[in-house]
Structure 1
Amino acid sequence: MTKMLNTQGYLLMGEDNWLKAKWFKTFKQDYCIDEQDMMNYVEIKAKDLSFSKLEDTLNTLPFFASHKLIYLKDSGLFKAGKKEESDSFLGLIKDLPEYILLVVDEKEVDKRNKLYKVFKERYAIIVCDYPGEEQVITILQKELKKNRLEMDKGNLLYFIRNMPENVEAILTEFQKLITYVEEGKITQEAIDAVCIFSLEKRVFELVKKIGAKESSEALAIYNRMIQSKESPIGILVLIARHYRVMLQIKYLSSKRNLSQKELATQLKLPYFAVKELTEQSRKYSFKQLEAILAACLETDQAIKTGKMEGVKCVEVLIMNCLNQPKIG
């Protein structure tokens, strides 16, 4: 893939380290480059970046090889406010010697940056963002096959949707599951027993149970969060956020007739989350959602003024949400 791009400079963008590592491994294999070869592989981190040393490296021929690879990680040169350093770097890499391969790995990139524009025009930009559910399922299915385990698609989706959108983090948790189960089939019970879900994912599940009027399950989720030392205020903030998004979805879908894909783009949320929240929003009227958001504000004030103890205060809010009459 990298040879087909026929260029010497590569900007790796995005936050998914697993995808970056996979791309970089393939790149080195394509060019037969060994990281142990100190003469022809140079790795530079931000704190070690010296433009004079970089210039020397660029101008030194490879040792008994056709190429020399320079890997620059998290330099910060593609962010705003680094004009002088960016210009110095640009002067060095604008016309690379034919034997140089340059890979620049950045999490944050300002697309207005002159360096970014040069890479877009002259070199190659590789975007390493979260690949989406279907590709992640394929990655996990390969891991299952390798370990002779089974897992149905419903449980794969349950696992993925309770994980951060980061392949590296997903695979770390998945490895725990594989070690725990050892043989047979991975079930939802195993996922719940082993995996650590983010607070946001657990609150999402809590709000889902509230909408379904499953009071015992909703309170059980809340109690588990409190037992794991989560802050009642932190839980409250996320409850309010979910109901606020529901209100936005209800308005945009009914008043402006936006599709779920358009909603996902506008609200900057995963498609599956918009789909779930759209279903949940149908269980409430506009007035009910507004009343719940007002109750969230009152709960916040009650906690901060000491009117009621935080854990109990949020529990009362949850009960009030559960007692909202069904519509339709």
Structure 2
Amino acid sequence: MDYKTAVKRIGRGEIAPIYVCYGGETYLIQELISRLTDKLVEPEHRAFAVTRYDLAETPVESVIEEAETLPFMVPRKLVVASNALFLTGAKESNKVEHRLEKLSEYMKSPVDYSVLIFTVDAEKLDERKKIVKSLKEADVLVPCTMLSADELTQWVTQEAKRRGFEFAPGVVDRLILYTGTSLQALTKEVEKCALFAGQGGTLTADDLEQLVSRTTEQNIFQLIEHIVQMQMDPAFTMLSELLRRKEEPIKIVMLVARQFRIMFQVKDLMSQGYSQQQIASQIGLHPYGVKIAAGQANRFDLKRLGSILQQLADLDFQMKSGRIDKVLGLELFLLRLAS
């Protein structure tokens, strides 16, 4: 089952005896565990009802034994077992041996008073393994992978709605640009925005500028956005601000070159028929980053992007060899782009 299906079923009270949560988005894994905990266990009972194990240190048969043990002072309990690397193709470095036949036996007749949750930080499970095939047939695998660009925007919008406020048009995208694609970081910023906007309020772009602090990388990304839009006055203002903060010009050039390289790769792959999701996987970038880079790259052809990358490489060499003043070199680069 996919993540959304799992959440809907939990909301309806349709609880599976076993869940296997895997994928790189650990926030979604923890969110699913929280939902199960809230649904099954009263807050005052959690010390007795929720047990956690690390499978790098504990054999899976001990976890099964815990699941089969009657709960103490509570009607149902959760058993959470992390680092289930035996479900992947990864080589386990620990010396713990897991008797997977015990898990196979348990799957045939799970107890009704325990919910067993396995988690593993891996994008894929090894479907060649018998135990993984059995878990897949039982429909208990829940992939918690990175959200697509549209899903990420939708997720932030829903988080705001859940907290009783909304974002003005265009502000969600700006929040993601400033904060990044980490759901954990976005959650914290949405909580901050909720306190500022108040119940039933609307958070504007000006409000966001006051609330969200940006990293050097995000400020440079904003500089690149000004460059791409050919908004040279804001670009020079942003550059002056970065230099005032003592940011190293060579680092600025490196990060600008990185974004233009991504734009080049995205445009090239899209011309070959790749989807944004496929490109994200191909170049190891979040789908939202691919969406932004695709929009930026629309203003250039591949030849122009290649020329800009060459200019940046030349500028980097001149800066490092002392052939040009670093600040002057950056300013000349911006002026050449504008022309």
> Is TM more than 0.5 here?
yes
Structure 1 unpaired stretches of 5+: 324-328
How does 1:128-147 map onto structure 2 within 5 Å?
128-129=144-145, 130=147, 131-145=151-165
Look up the match of 1:119: 135
Determine the C-alpha separation between the residues in 2 that align with 1:276 and 1:50.
Answer: 45
Look up the match of 2:265: 248
Look up the match of 1:216: 233
Determine the C-alpha separation between the residues in 2 that align with 1:35 and 1:126.
Answer: 28
Q: Which moved more, 1:57-66 or 1:132-141?
A: 57-66
SS of the residue corresponding to residue 162 of structure 1 reads helix
Distance apart, 1:294 and its partner CA:
0.8
Matching of residue 95 in structure 1 with residue 118 in structure 2: no
Deviation by residue 1:168-192 (Cα, 9 ceiling, x = unmatched): 2112112333444558642212212
CA contact (8 A) 1:111 1:117 kept: no
Task: Note closer, same or farther for the CA distance 1:210–1:125 as it changes in structure 2 (3 Å cut).
Answer: same
Letter in 2 for 1:23: L
Determine the C-alpha separation between the residues in 2 that align with 1:166 and 1:143.
Answer: 19
Determine the C-alpha separation between the residues in 1 that align with 2:196 and 2:102.
Answer: 51
Match of 1:174 among 161, 180, 190: 190
How does 1:270-309 map onto structure 2 within 5 Å?
273-274=289-290, 276-308=292-324
CA contact (8 A) 1:160 1:170 kept: yes
Look up the match of 2:120: 106
SS of the residue corresponding to residue 132 of structure 1 reads helix
SS of the residue corresponding to residue 307 of structure 2 reads helix
Structure 2 unpaired stretches of 5+: 1-8
CA contact (8 A) 1:78 1:86 kept: no
Letter in 1 for 2:261: R
How does 1:201-240 map onto structure 2 within 5 Å?
201-228=218-245, 230-240=247-257
Look up the match of 2:50: 41
CA contact (8 A) 2:167 2:204 kept: yes
Look up the match of 1:13: 22
Deviation by residue 1:134-154 (Cα, 9 ceiling, x = unmatched): 232122133243xxxx53222
SS of the residue corresponding to residue 103 of structure 1 reads strand
Letter in 1 for 2:33: F
Look up the match of 1:82: 92
Deviation by residue 1:222-247 (Cα, 9 ceiling, x = unmatched): 33334445443443233222222333
Task: Note closer, same or farther for the CA distance 1:59–1:104 as it changes in structure 2 (3 Å cut).
Answer: same
Determine the C-alpha separation between the residues in 1 that align with 2:61 and 2:175.
Answer: 49
CA contact (8 A) 1:250 1:278 kept: yes
CA contact (8 A) 2:257 2:312 kept: yes
The count of aligned residue pairs is: 318
Task: Note closer, same or farther for the CA distance 1:139–1:215 as it changes in structure 2 (3 Å cut).
Answer: same
What is the TM-score normalised by the length of structure 2?
0.75
Determine the C-alpha separation between the residues in 2 that align with 1:19 and 1:303.
Answer: 44
Give the root-mean-square deviation of aligned CA atoms: 3.7
Letter in 1 for 2:162: K
Q: Which moved more, 1:47-56 or 1:243-252?
A: 47-56
Distance apart, 1:70 and its partner CA:
1.0
Determine the C-alpha separation between the residues in 2 that align with 1:228 and 1:47.
Answer: 45
Letter in 1 for 2:223: L
Matching of residue 25 in structure 1 with residue 34 in structure 2: yes
CA contact (8 A) 1:9 1:123 kept: no
Look up the match of 1:154: 170
Distance apart, 1:92 and its partner CA:
3.9
CA contact (8 A) 2:61 2:102 kept: no
Distance apart, 1:195 and its partner CA:
0.8
Task: Note closer, same or farther for the CA distance 1:179–1:88 as it changes in structure 2 (3 Å cut).
Answer: same
Distance apart, 1:17 and its partner CA:
4.5
Task: Note closer, same or farther for the CA distance 1:9–1:234 as it changes in structure 2 (3 Å cut).
Answer: farther
Instruction: Provide the identity percentage.
Output: 20
Task: Note closer, same or farther for the CA distance 1:121–1:228 as it changes in structure 2 (3 Å cut).
Answer: farther
What is the TM-score normalised by the length of structure 1?
0.77
SS of the residue corresponding to residue 179 of structure 2 reads coil
Deviation by residue 1:77-119 (Cα, 9 ceiling, x = unmatched): 5551118868615244222252442112332254227464443
Deviation by residue 1:187-240 (Cα, 9 ceiling, x = unmatched): 212212221235444333322211222222112223333444544344323322
CA contact (8 A) 1:78 1:108 kept: no
